[in-house]
Structure 1
Amino acid sequence: MDALDVIVHPEEIEAWFQPIVGAAPFKVEGYEIQSHFRGEPLKPFFQEDDVPIEYQLEVMGHVVRQAFQKVPSDTQAFILIRCRPAWLFENGGEDFLHVLRTVDSSFPKERMYVTLTDVQVDDFDRLGRIVAYYQNSGLKVALDRAEATSLERVFSMSPDMLIVDLSSMIEKKTVSASYPHLLQTMEHLCDQLGAPLLYKNISHLGQLRYAWQHGGRYYMGNLLGEAAPEWVMTCPGMEVLIHEVPMFYKYDREQMNRLFQLEQD
């Protein structure tokens, strides 16, 4: 993707929405804003270190403004907006905050999550202070790929949501013995922080079962609903959860009964 082409042709940038389904009501409760340029994801553009940060922020501002033009005024959903930590280091976080302030002021700040995508930075203390500044201004902060972040950093940042990436879990039979313990740690962290746990990149039922068994409050992935350029109120994930969750309960109950029978024997 030609970065200059993206900068010169902002009219060809599109904001897309990927639905996030809730575990309890089995309905769409939130959306992650994604960006495309001529049908291709803009993620490489935002991750390219050779592209000046001011240009990335300019393009991100276009994406955010376009996205919130499509958000219904009466929605109760929350919104995830991806953000590189490097963007927060620009002018003490004010530059990215300016991007968010261009959004329609009627959308509540408490339902707007700034999603930090890579917190492996040298000056983590400074990042933590900027995160606290954002939270004190009324915004929420979500930590993406929390499973790859040290526990010390997670507690230090005190995010309002933890996001766990299940893309490495291709098939249930390939999961390592330590994987369930990792997810249990994420579940415990969320309990300690009072933050919800979102599992993303769910593409098959094995991943969904793990997410449900390990404290997932929100689910996102192509199994549940693909990203689209239009705001949608329903997605396939609603029917998937309605059908599968009773089966999860049944399976767990059968497992417990077998354990009880084994103890009696």
Structure 2
Amino acid sequence: MDPLDVLMNKEKVIPYFQPIISADKQEVVGYEVLARIMTSQGVKSLGWFFHDESIPYEYQEEIEDHIQTLALEYYINHDLEQFLCLNINIQSLLKDDGERLFTKLRAYESKGLFFEKIVLEIQESDYVENYNNIKHLLVYIQNTGVRISIGGIDNATTNLERMAVLKPSIVKVNVGFIEGDAFPELYRDVLHSLSSLTRKLGATLLFEKIDTYQKLNFAWKNGGRYYQGYYLSVPKAEFIEADFCKHSIRKEFHHFINYERKKIESQLSLTETVGLRLKATLKAVKSYGDFDAAVLSIAKALTDLTFRVYICDHDGFQQSSNAVKTENGDWTLEKESRSKNWSWRPYFLENIVRMNYEKKGLLSDLYTDIEKDEMIRTYSYPIGEQLFLFIDIPYSYLYEKDGLL
């Protein structure tokens, strides 16, 4: 469809509303306004119209204004508790410091519109390019009660520092680009940082483009409070019942919780198993005076569940060589690893303090081992005065045990 066809048929351009579902209530808490056009082949999305940089900005602004007006009229007439999310072009705001938009909103305020129920969504790529110009404008907008949502986050280039300054109410994470069940580990790391940031800011993490059960599970596991996508509901020309998916969401959550509960039980079981076997093995270790001899002895006794064993002190300095399993199953010492420091690793010092305090071993989260380039876990255990044993457990062993991956 030609852009001019859209302008010439503006009366056929209508708003559709995509529900935003809350994890805590399992209900619709808001609606995002999307542009659609009625054609002889049915209703079509106008997403392309707003994302095509070759289309004059004035064309996009005219259709954006038209959609906003229809959506606000419909919203006011239904007196909803849910919020309304409007997609905003940054250039439209910067052009007149948002005056045109707020003139419209104030007109509806006299009809009962609450600014606190309006969310303006901007794209991360847009505010990055116009950051210095827009940050003060967004602060002004937020002071009126209107909330800001930042969307388009779908990779590892997210600038968390700039986002922290803008203090959005909602941060939207796009999982639509993820193929099948493959969730890149780098993406998980970005989400971990993003989840921590939104929690500190008091913002809400919203996962969009959820079109499969796996992606809903991914959103749930990664701190998503709000969900949006075709798996939950397609956009519609009218608002739907707030609790339309309560039963199905609760059923999904039940499956998620049961699975995670089994994983936790498996991890506790592994922690206990390794701990018991290690205690029995340590009884045979007469002295830790020769650290290399000690790690070799321990490694051979636990050869079925580890590929590397070493000892560190409480400052993270490695006191032993690495006892490493070779391809044929024998054990050898990597002496060059002695005296390396591991205190820089995330959670290292926290785990050292916990082991000192609790006097028991700890099982790490899954992480990628740099040398083997595979997912592993590490079991750590206090073995003496300011000495700690580290046992690296390979992917192959974890794969055989339910709930450890």
1:48-67 equivalences in 2 (<5 Å): 48-67=52-71
Contact residue 17 and residue 32 of structure 1 kept, 8 A: yes
The answer to whether structure 1 residue 5 and structure 2 residue 5 are counterparts is yes
Give the aligned residue type for 2:101: F
- Stretches of structure 2 that go unaligned for 5 or more consecutive residues are 274-405
2:106 aligned with 1:116: no
Give the letter aligned to residue 249 of structure 2.
L
Relative contact order higher in (CA < 8 Å, ≥ 6 apart): 1
Is the 1:113–1:141 Cα contact (8 Å) retained in structure 2?
yes
Match of 2:171 among 162, 168, 172: 162
Aligned: 1:226 with 2:231: no
**Aligned residue type for 2:50:** F
Q: Which one has a larger percent helix, Structure 1 or Structure 2?
A: 1
Aligned equivalent of 2:210 = 202
Residue 188 of structure 1 is matched in structure 2 by 196
Provide the residue aligned with 2:360 in structure 1: none
Identity of aligned residues (%): 26
Q: How does 1:98-109 map to 2 (within 5 A)?
A: 98-101=103-106, 103=108, 105-109=111-115
Instruction: Determine the structure 2 residue equivalent to 1:217.
Output: 225
1:14-45 Cα offsets, whole Å, 9 max, x none, are 11000111101111111100011122212222
- Distance across 1 between alignment mates of 2:130 and 2:73: 35
Structure 1 residues 33-86: Cα deviation after superposition (integer angstroms, max 9, x where no partner): 001112221222222334343332222121112122322543110111111212
Instruction: Single out whichever of 60-69 and 125-134 deviates more from structure 2.
Output: 60-69
Q: Say if 2:17 and 2:236, in contact at 8 Å, map to a contact too.
A: yes
Q: Kindly indicate whether the alpha-carbon contact (under 8 Å) linking 1:225 and 1:235 is maintained by their aligned counterparts in 2.
A: no
Name the aligned partner's letter for residue 30 of structure 2: G
The aligned counterpart of 1:152 is: 161
The 1:20–1:195 alpha-carbon spacing in structure 2 relative to 1, beyond 3 Å, is: same
Contact 2:3 2:49 in 1 (8 A): yes
Matched, 1:45 2:49: yes
Write out per-residue CA displacement over residues 192-216 of structure 1, whole angstroms, 9 at most, x where no aligned residue. 1101111100011111111111111
3-state DSSP class of the match of 2:97?
Answer: helix
What is residue 73 of structure 2 aligned with on the other side?
Answer: 69
Worse-matched range after superposition: 251-260 or 146-155: 146-155
For this pair of structures, how many residues does the alignment match?
Answer: 264
Identify which range, 191-200 or 235-244, moves more after superposition.
Answer: 235-244
Q: Which amino acid aligns with 1:96?
A: L
Q: Shift of the alpha carbon at 1:99?
A: 4.6
Q: Give the CA deviation at 1:120.
A: 5.2
User: Match of 1:183, SS?
Assistant: helix
Structure 1: gaps (5+ residues): none
Q: Which residue of 2 aligns with 1:82?
A: 87
For the 8 Å contact 2:32–2:84, the answer to whether it is kept is yes
**C-alpha distance in 2, partners of 1:190/1:121?**
18
Larger strand share, 1 or 2? 2
- Tell me the TM-score normalised to structure 2 length: 0.61
State the alpha-carbon separation in 2 of the partners of residues 260 and 203 from structure 1. Answer: 33
Moved more, 179-188 or 199-208: 179-188
Output the aligned Cα RMSD. Answer: 1.9
Contact preservation (8 Å) 1:29, 1:77:
yes
Bigger mean CA deviation after superposition, 122-131 or 232-241: 232-241
Q: Which has the larger radius of gyration?
A: 2
Q: 1:190, 1:197 within 8 Å by CA — same for their partners in 2? A: yes
